[in-house]
Structure 1
Amino acid sequence: MKQILFSFLFLCLGLSSCFSQQAQDSLYFYQNKVLYPKNATDVFQSYKFFNERLKKAELKSDKPSQLNSMYYLSSINYKLGAYDESEQISVKAIGVLNKHSTIPNSIHYQKSFYNLLGMLYYEQQNKKKSLSLYNKVLELSVNPKDSAIVYNNISNTYKKHNDFNKAKQALSKAYDLTKRIDDTLTIALVMDNLGFINSKLSNTDDGLRLMKQALKMRNFVKDTVSKYKSYTHLAQYYFNTGNSSLAKENALKAFEIAEKIKSASYRQDALGLLITLSEDPYVTQYKKVNDSINKAEKETKNKFALLKYDYSNFEKKLLLSQLQEQKQKSKTVIASVVAIGVVLLSLILYVFLKTKHNKDKLLQVVETESRISNQVHDEIANEVFQVMIKFDNQEENSQKSKLIKELNSLYYKARDISKQHSVIDVKNSFEDSLIELMNSYNDTDTNVIIKGVKDIVWKGYSEINKITVYKVLQELLINMKKHSKASLVVISFLETKGKLEIKYSDNGVGCTIKKGNGLENTENRIQAINGTITFESKENKGFKAIINIS
């Protein structure tokens, strides 16, 4: 059964400030027609609009508009069952992204095209490639809706190969995220698929409840295409539970939608479902043979555009490297810009001296913290411990017990402060120290997920940079534990061309950003090493921070 799901992650991207209001309104209008088509006319009008927009963008070399148009064209082709055309457009778009890495919002485009290609490979029976692409999207996803859509797609892949237990595991993760999602269709999508999987795993009552609730939500927003999936799921459910009358009724409703939107693949699926429901043994036998032939054709088809691209991309990089080397040899040194050179040298010297001053100040802060840590541990904690021993040797009474508890609490507080400001081993085992720090906040109340930390080449970063990363993450985690009441924290690390990006997000209570001592300290530390840190939070929407270090 066709997978009705799109990860529309950048509906407004690609708009330039020079666009007229009318052009922007037209773009939003047709984007919504692709997202929520009411009939076949919506789909075909949208295709015409984005096809013309793509041609204009290519003439103007407007890459964001070009990619935006290509995504919607690829999505429309996917919805119409034109998988080859959809795949070719998506692969071409990935080529544009790889060639122009500075395109704004490139991460969003990558997520969207990888997700769409994952769905295309799902249709081509290529489980390994489909799951690989979905996992790429999952690594790039930072909000609940994106993650829920990807988990749903992963579940569909397992479901297609009859691995219902793994399908439910992925869907359960998506369902947990729906509490933080506002989009009705995304919630309905997850509920419908989870209901169908539950019915396959003998949990029929809960399965039917979820599927009916999803159909009600889809009817409420009047989304024709997504209702098709609800009716096919319900038809299969009633057929499996022996209610042939309701099974046929829902299958016919699915076929009516397929006729309405004029999709060949939907018609084929709907007719296949009606044949399955038929009691004629010859019809049933024909269906089995036909399905077997179609499956064999899909599995033996090896001329997929992305698989070719994987190899040709390597050849292109090799050729590009050779061309760059040739250009480098043919360059001549230009020595007629001495005045400009002096100005540039002065600017560089100024930046260098300012940076050195900031780093020297940060080193002094680190040294002071370490000295205070040692004093707290050696002078206060040890003395408290000695007093506790003396009290243990005294006669027992209620006052003594209460005092021992208070001293014990004071001892652990002193030890924690000491640990918080202790010296970090950045030469030999920094990665282990960093993982230990993050895992120390992983308990029964809070689940801390760490992504990509082992992929970072920490040797390439200075000691002060590593100390700063450690201290800033420690500050964010302490702030989380004290104030946010988060049950899930995700910390991801990504290194691109010598630049380190760290993303922190939690699902806590959130807040209105006011830079108190904690947030201000993290900002000062990062700025001292010429990095940047941004914060994003709203009440009941969690807290996010993005750190960039060169």
Structure 2
Amino acid sequence: MYYQRIYYLLLALFISVTNLVYAQTENSLHTKTTALTQEATRLMRAENYEKSLILSRHALSKAISLKDNNLIALSYNTIAANFDQLAEYEKALFYYKKGLVYANKTNNNHLKNWIHNNLGNIYCFDKKEYSKGIYHYKESLEYSIKSADSSEIFLTKLNITWAYFDINKFSLGLPYLNYINKYHKKHSDETTIVALKMLNGMYYSHLNKTEKATFYFEHAIKLGEEGNEKSDLSFAYQEYSKFLFKTNHFKEAYEYLKAYNELTAKINNEDKLKKLNVAGINLEIDEYKREIDNIKTEYKTQHQILLEKQSKNKLYSITIISILLLIIVFFYLYFQNNKLKQKNKLKNIESKIQENIITASINGQEIERKKIAAFLHDNISALLSSAALHLSVFSTKNKNNSEEITKTKAILIQAHYKIRDLSHQLLPSLLARFGLFFALNDLCEMNSNSTIHFEYSSSVSNETRYNEDYEMRMYFIISELLNNIIKHSEANKAKLSLKEVNSQLRIVVSDNGKGFEINQFQTIEGFGLNQIKARINTMNGKFKIISKPKEGTRIEIIVPIEYAV
């Protein structure tokens, strides 16, 4: 009995110590994750987006393991904010919304206010969907009121005022303008004071009070030119230009419109990705075309030689048959054997030609993707924006606010954003900026949903970079494999694994779907599995499919790495 009591006392002591160690370990992990999130936010504000995204994703994985909704929401918000700064607005929306789901499970009103405000910014000023944007601003305002943060209330009301004024609903925006005018001395800084002056100018322009409107616009422009806030200054140039056209000061209006265009172009140039070398692309396309022509010529020559050889063999056979029956039988067997070898040789040549043609065709498509994406982003999108602006100027100058002009402006703006989104789909900017592994990690995250989850696993650092064309080829090959899983496998789990071994990249894509019979595997049109296999062969790689019905599918790829020069 005595020893039993000692046993239970020691057991209780062991459990207490274990729980204490576990609690300390969990607290340490929580502290480290919080520090990672803070450092990722600092790097984002310093415009070091690559490192910020890497740290924020690392923080996200740790926060998920901790099941800490607050840290998960903060991590998603930081990831979204990085994409927001990189003008990847669809990705930013995706991660903001994910962050909001977890933020709503917490009592962190500051974070909810922050995420709703960021969503409002994207919908109002990037996508021009003001009803959605104003909804999120008002949600943000509710949470800032709950947290009793006067500075957050001030900034949110400033955004609501701007949104209403931007769609000419001045009566709805006026109460918010009165509030920010009343409290601006307490909360204004370099950024908000320029915006505040411009909003007052817009309001007095709406009331046709020329003197007051002029005072506020000129004051906003002066403050903006003295400071470093280029975005608000460009809006001030634009709104003052509209006001000057309205008051028939056309020369000055064109001067400020010119200043707006120049500053906007400068802002866009600062954020622009590296331009594609169009001349180099054209040369590369020509090289692929010449390669295809050479392959076809070589094939025709070899085919002709084989046909001539067949004719000679037939002639010899006929001659020998006429001499001896036994010799006829012998040469007949020899001829049939030789003919079979020739057919196999022709098939091998045709297969090699087909693989090279597929590779050259796909490489040409990828080059055209780059060229078209750059052309859409740098030319068509800019032209649509300019057309919308000039149409606005025309309607202001002629005091013509007809429904047709309003709808035309809306169509031009919508076309501008659709073209920009199309250019990002043709050439993922994340791949060009941060490399293959970071883009694939993001691809798995984007494709995961309530129906299927893609697990990403890599022993290679996300910061590793290869040859640009090699990265693009591997990205689209893996993207096609993931699309096949989504469309055909009926799986709910899939995994992408990557590792480097002896200067080779080893890729495994697997799922737990319905699978298929390998012997029923047929060539299909388009960039399917046979085309992927052909492309891997031309890269001196290996391609293997392992699948059975109801046992899922596993695809293994080994490709020599093409390192960046």
The TM tier, using the shorter chain, reads 0.3 to 0.5
Which structure shows the bigger proportion of residues in helix conformation? 2
TM-score between the two structures when normalised by the length of structure 1: 0.42
Q: Which has the higher contact order (CA 8 A, sep 6+)?
A: 1
TM-score between the two structures when normalised by the length of structure 2: 0.41
